[in-house]
Amino acid sequence: MNADVVFRSLGELELCVEFGDRIDLALNFQVLALDRALKESKVAGIRETVPTHRSLGVVYDPALIRRRDLERLIVELVDELDELSEFPSRLVTIPIWYDDPWSQECARAHGVDNNIDFLAGANGIGRDEVISRHAGVLHWVSAVGFQPSTYQAVPLGEMRLTGPKYERPRKWTDPGIVCLAGTITSYYPVRSPGGYQLLGRTPIDLFDPAQRNAAFADGPVLPRVGDRHRYVPIDGEEYEAIRAEVVGGDYEYRIEDGVHRLERADA
């Protein structure tokens, strides 16, 4: 593969392997390819990896592998990486009550009348168009982290919707709220400060530490880098019905296995 990587230090237990400094699906594919190659190499001392939009964090045990040897290994792996043009990708359906009362209340509490109205004005479109543009494309999860199940997803194809971050971050945001900054969609799993524009609230849990629902059989956090999200607008009645099923433990998550092909328009 024709990729240049830069090694950046994260102390003595983690190494950042940087493919670039920008959001670009092609970079994320390189990150995922290296992640896979490192895991398949089964080299002793590599403890965990943290894929992001543009870099791979590699946690390593210096008692088992020194940084200079780890760098040498990664350079070799990167040289041998196949140019990835497709990647296994789950399609996860996430219902959203756009412009829900919690988001409205949270915006008002922080001096903004309504975030959907704000986005409509900022993009020169009607408020319904904000929702249809956001829900009208699939979104690619290219980083997971910050808090349990917080993710960042970039639109696949042209969304024609952007939102600035709040200039003064909010003091709190309700859990379950889906939000937008630039073209990145993210999510607040727990009540937390934040600066993204509020889009709506999902009734489904993306973090289940007790792993009760079958969707969490492999781990406590649903979003994974390389997932595609489909956001489906729902109303208040549907929200309550789905929420009751989630709380009862019998909600059936809609997750389909698939493959995503890298296309020029995504980059």
Partner 1 sequence: MRDRNVFEVVDPGLQTTVQDLGRPGYLADGIPPSGAFDAAALKLANLLVGNEVGEHVLVGTDPGAAGLEMLLVGPALRVVSHTVIAVTGADLEPMVNGEPIPMWTAVPVRTADEITFGSARSGARAYLAVAGGLAVPPMLGSRSTNVRAGIGGLGGRALRARDVLAVQPPEHRAEKLAWRRIRPELIPAHPSPARLRVVLGPQDHLFTPESVATFLDTDWRLSPTSDRMGCRFIGPALKFLPRPEHLVAQAGSDPSNIVDDSICIGSIQVPSGLEPIAMGVDGPSLGGYAKIATVISPDLSVLAQLKPHEVTRFQAVDPEEAEEIHLAARRIGEPDFLE
**Smallest separation, CB 147 to partner 1 (Å):** 5
Min dist CB 249 to partner 1, Å, is 18
Residues in 156-175 that interact with partner 1 by CB under 8 A: 164-165
89 binds partner 1 (CB under 8 A): no
What is the rounded CA–CA span in Å between residue 27 and residue 20?
7
DSSP letters, the chain, are -----EEEEETBTEEEEES-SS--HHHHHHHHHHHHHHHHHT-TTEEEEEE-SSEEEEEE-TTTS-HHHHHHHHHHHHHH-----EEE--EEEEEEEET-HHHHHHHHHTT-S-HHHHHHHHHTS-HHHHHHHHHTS-EEEEEE-SSTT-EEEEESS-----BPPPSS-BS---TTEEEEEBTEEEEESSS--B-SEEEEE-SS-SB-TT--SGGGTT-SB---TT-EEEEEE--HHHHHHHHHHHHHT-----EE--EEE--GGG-
In the complex, the smallest distance separating the C-beta of residue 126 from partner 1, rounded to whole angstroms, is: 25
The number of angstroms, rounded, from the C-alpha of 120 to the middle of its chain's C-alpha atoms is 24
- 193, 220, 249, 258: which one contacts partner 1 (CB under 8 A)? 220
Choice from 221, 239, 260, 266 touching partner 1 (CB under 8 A): 221
Q: How many chain residues bind partner 1 (CB under 8 A)?
A: 53
Query: Is there binding between residue 1 and partner 1 (CB under 8 A)?
Result: no
Of 54-73, which residues contact partner 1 (CB under 8 A)? 54-57, 59-63, 66-68
Residue count of the chain, please give it: 267
Q: Does 253 contact partner 1 by CB under 8 A? A: no
Task: Determine the Cα–Cα distance for residues 246 and 29; give it in Å rounded to an integer.
Answer: 33
Minimum distance from residue 238 beta carbon to partner 1 (Å) = 27
Residues 100-139, one symbol each (x = binds partner 1 by CB under 8 A, - = not), give: ----------------------------------------
Output the smallest distance, CB 247 to partner 1, in A.
16
Q: Residue 168 or 264: which CB sits closer to partner 1?
A: 168
- Determine contact, residues 221/138, Cβ cutoff 8 Å: no
Binding mask 173-192 for partner 1 (x = CB under 8 A): --------xx------xx-x
Q: Which stretch binds partner 1 (CB under 8 A): 16-24, 80-88, 96-104, 119-127?
A: 16-24
Residues within the interface to partner 1 (CB under 8 A): 8-14, 16, 18, 21-23, 47-57, 59-63, 66-68, 143-150, 152, 164-165, 181-182, 189-190, 192, 207, 209, 219-221, 225
